[in-house]
Structure 1
Amino acid sequence: MDETLTPVHVLVRSPDLSLPSRALTLAPDFTLRRLKLSLLLPQTLALDSLYFSLNGKPLPDSSTLASAAGGGGGGVLDLTLRLRLRGGGGDGGATGAESRDCYLNMYATKKPDKVDPNETRLSKWTTCALSGEPLAHPAVVDRLGNLFNKEALIEALLHKKLPKEFKHIRGLKDLIPIHLDSIPGATTDAETKFQCPITGLEFNGKYSFFAVRGCGHVLSAKALKEVKSTSCLVCHKEFSDSDKIVINGSAEEVKLLRAMMEEERGRVKERKEKKAGACLSGTKHAADEKGDVLDNGKKDSNGKRFRALDIAPANATKEVYASIFTSSKKSDFKETFSCRSLPLGRN
């Protein structure tokens, strides 16, 4: 201890710990933390759980006896060792200003569990997009590349219970039966049970796969890229690029498939409208005074209409020959939607 420094007389009380008071004479540069260490406190007490106070004012552990004595205390520094109460404020606990409901609501609100992206990917490739059941034969894929168990999808179509995201499926024509190549020896609890029949890549979403519309075989993108061919690599049936349906494609790929589907539906609708228009505007068979019908209103190069009788062979009976091309001649026969009846006496 430096002789130029005047020692400080310290009286330590500890009413919270039921310990006897102690009188010490220490150097003025002695810190309160060193003072706590010198008191030989019970090992069950942590130093941070205790603090010194002077005249009711708490003192930091880094304070020296000289600085503490400057705050009052006379010739003897009367210090009180107190037990720190957690949560009283200033130590990161509650300040008393918060509502108890705030904490209850904070812990009562259950945060949503994080979804494993690998599990989501695998589920999309190994289960039916409609029923969630494991993908199994017979399986189908729609025009946008979604995978289904055929039985579950047909049942939903019959009962008109398709979810909104599958409303583009109007009937069986929008479904493509597919052939999934099974992995030999795959168990029921295996991660995936199908593979590419050419490359052997697993059908689990890690690789791109296509379904060929014409034959329904499912091939990996790697197989189609390495073996460039316009025919199926399994059954050798010809197909075009528009016949390749990407399975579980990205948003851009699904958008392209949807555009192709709408374009094809537009062409089919246009053909039906043209066919219906031609039927409505068609010319009825014209007949002459004797009931002979002209041959579908066809004309020759001079614009004259042909009649069936005009092309009858020389030795043919004209009435019989004309009856081959028309049924407009009245007869005693009566027909219904399901049968032909004969005149009385002939049946």
Structure 2
Amino acid sequence: MHPKSFQVLVQSPDQQVYPKSVTGDQTLSDLKFSLFPNSQHLLPSSFYFTLNGKPLPDNTVFSTSRIAPLSTLVLQSRLRGGGGDGGATGAESRDCYLKMYAEKKPDKVDPNEQRLSKWQNCALSNEPLREPCVIDKLGNIFNKVSLVEALLGKKLPKEFGYIKGLKDMITVKLSSINGEDDGAKFQCPIAGLEFNGKYKFFALRNCGHVLSAKALKEVKSSACLVCHEEFDEVDKIVINGNEEEVAVLREKMEEEKAKVREKKTKKVKNSEAVNGLGLEVSKLSGTKHGIMGVEKASAKVDRNGKVANGNKSVNGGAAAAKRFKATDIAPANATEVYASIFTSSRKSDFKETYSCRSLPLGRN
């Protein structure tokens, strides 16, 4: 959500940057006219804006666009052809000119701005990178807040559909350049190379530090050069890699998912095998209760896969559990008095009342 009014940065063709206040209902055309209020020799239609190397139409509304506050809009001049070159003979039909200008050719994208946008902005929200930052298992870098909000709101694009939760994110630690403002530029903390796409960078999965490939190559070590934590070669994830590097990372990601599915399948099969025997683990088992698994101890499996319970043998794992009796755990010298504490010593034909055992029905 854009605020009602916010500031954007406008970079003029002479590389000067000016802050401008805009509102959500304004368009880029309104912004251009505000830059040339009294100019007669410069027409607003002769210029257009680009954001991260991509041209923007003049009817773009700030409230519905992806232009974030403090974004840098670059003002570019349109190159138009002039007359008097001897190309017109007067024999051409007017229709050919109409067809020529009916279809507008798209403005060329500046590759340098596009590269900087990929390395200095969030891959999801296109906002400048601000800590905390995370990467996925394919090396794309995001602002963690933007990615989590998209996951919670179920607004994640299909291209990032493999990100299901926090387990698919790796928190990274970027080293900012001294003297730069918040969310501006980052560098390698060892080699000092700028994080701008001209150099290859790796993120270490175990500690999250981001280092340049040059630093890892010159200082050959199996530990992080910043925190000295050990890492393996598979823990290195290339950031914003090319198509071949992304294909390798995608293959590793699929292998990890296959291993997780295999572990879950084995766990389910093991539980089904145990349940198929019909063995019921007693709740009273253990030294705490003094009973070592009454049901489990009474169930025995013969060679033919039958479960024997006492003198009975049952197929298919449907063994009946042995009924608990107090005399089974009675001391060696105990008498019937000990058993009568827990159960009745002899059966009676009389029904007892709920209030007293000494006043059975039929005796009063």
Q: State the TM-score, normalized to the length of structure 1.
A: 0.56
Structure 2 CA distance for aligned equivalents of residues 173 and 107 of structure 1: 52
Q: In structure 2, how many angstroms separate the alpha carbons of the residues matched to 1:207 and 1:213? A: 19
Partner Cα separation in structure 1 for residue 159 and residue 298 of structure 2 = 49
- Residue in 1 aligned with 2:88? 93
The residue type paired with residue 98 of structure 2 is: L
**Could you tell me which of 209, 213, 217 is aligned with 1:221?**
213
Residue 179 (structure 1) aligned with residue 189 (structure 2)? no
**Is 2:223 the counterpart of 1:241?**
no
Please give the residue correspondences for 1:1-347 in structure 2 after superposition, counting only pairs within 5 Å: 92-96=87-91, 98-187=92-181, 192-282=184-274, 283-285=277-279, 292-294=294-296, 319=329
Amino acid at match of 2:225: L
SS at match of 1:238: coil
Whether the 8 Å contact between 1:182 and 1:195 is mirrored in structure 2 is: yes
| Cα drift, residue 108 of structure 1 | 3.8
SS at match of 1:148: strand
Shift of 1:319: 4.4
Size of the aligned set, in residue pairs, is 218
How far 1:286 sits from its partner (Å)? 5.4
Q: 1:206 to 1:296 in 2, by over 3 A?
A: farther
Question: Are the equivalent residues in 2 in contact too, given 1:285–1:296 (CA < 8 A)?
Answer: no
Instruction: Give the CA RMSD over aligned residues.
Output: 3.5
Matched AA of 2:161: K
CA distance in 2, matches of 1:319, 1:255: 66
CA distance in 1, matches of 2:88, 2:294: 109
In 2, are the aligned partners of 1:215 and 1:237 still within 8 Å (CA)? yes
AA in 2 matched with 1:115? V
Whichever residue aligns with residue 109 of structure 1, its letter is E
Q: Does the Cα contact within 8 Å between 2:130 and 2:182 map onto a contact in 1?
A: no
C-alpha contact (below 8 Å) 2:186/2:194 kept by paired residues: yes
- C-alpha change, 1:224 and 1:296, in structure 2 (3 Å) is farther
- Report the equivalent of 1:5: none
The one-letter amino acid paired with 1:268 is V
Provide the residue aligned with 1:310 in structure 2. Answer: none
Structure 2 CA distance for partners of 1:99 and 1:225, relative to 1, 3 Å: same
- Deviations along 1:56-102, whole A, 9 cap, x unmatched? xxxxxxxxxxxxxxxxxxxxxxxxxxxxxx99xxx742453x43122
Distance in 1 (CA, whole Å) between partners of 2:240 and 2:111 is: 15
Query: Structure 2-normalised TM-score?
Result: 0.54
SS at structure 1 position matched to 2:294: coil
2:148 counterpart SS class = helix
Question: In 1, distance between residues paired with 2:298 and 2:166?
Answer: 38
1: CA distance, partners of 2:262 / 2:254: 12
1:182-227 per-residue CA deviation (whole Å, 9 max, x = no partner) reads: 11111359xx521111111111111100111111111111111111
Q: How many Å separate the matches in 2 of 1:161 and 1:287?
A: 47
AA partner of residue 168 (structure 1): Y
In the alignment, residue 152 of structure 1 is paired with which amino acid?
S
When Rg is computed on C-alpha atoms for both structures, the one with the higher figure is 1
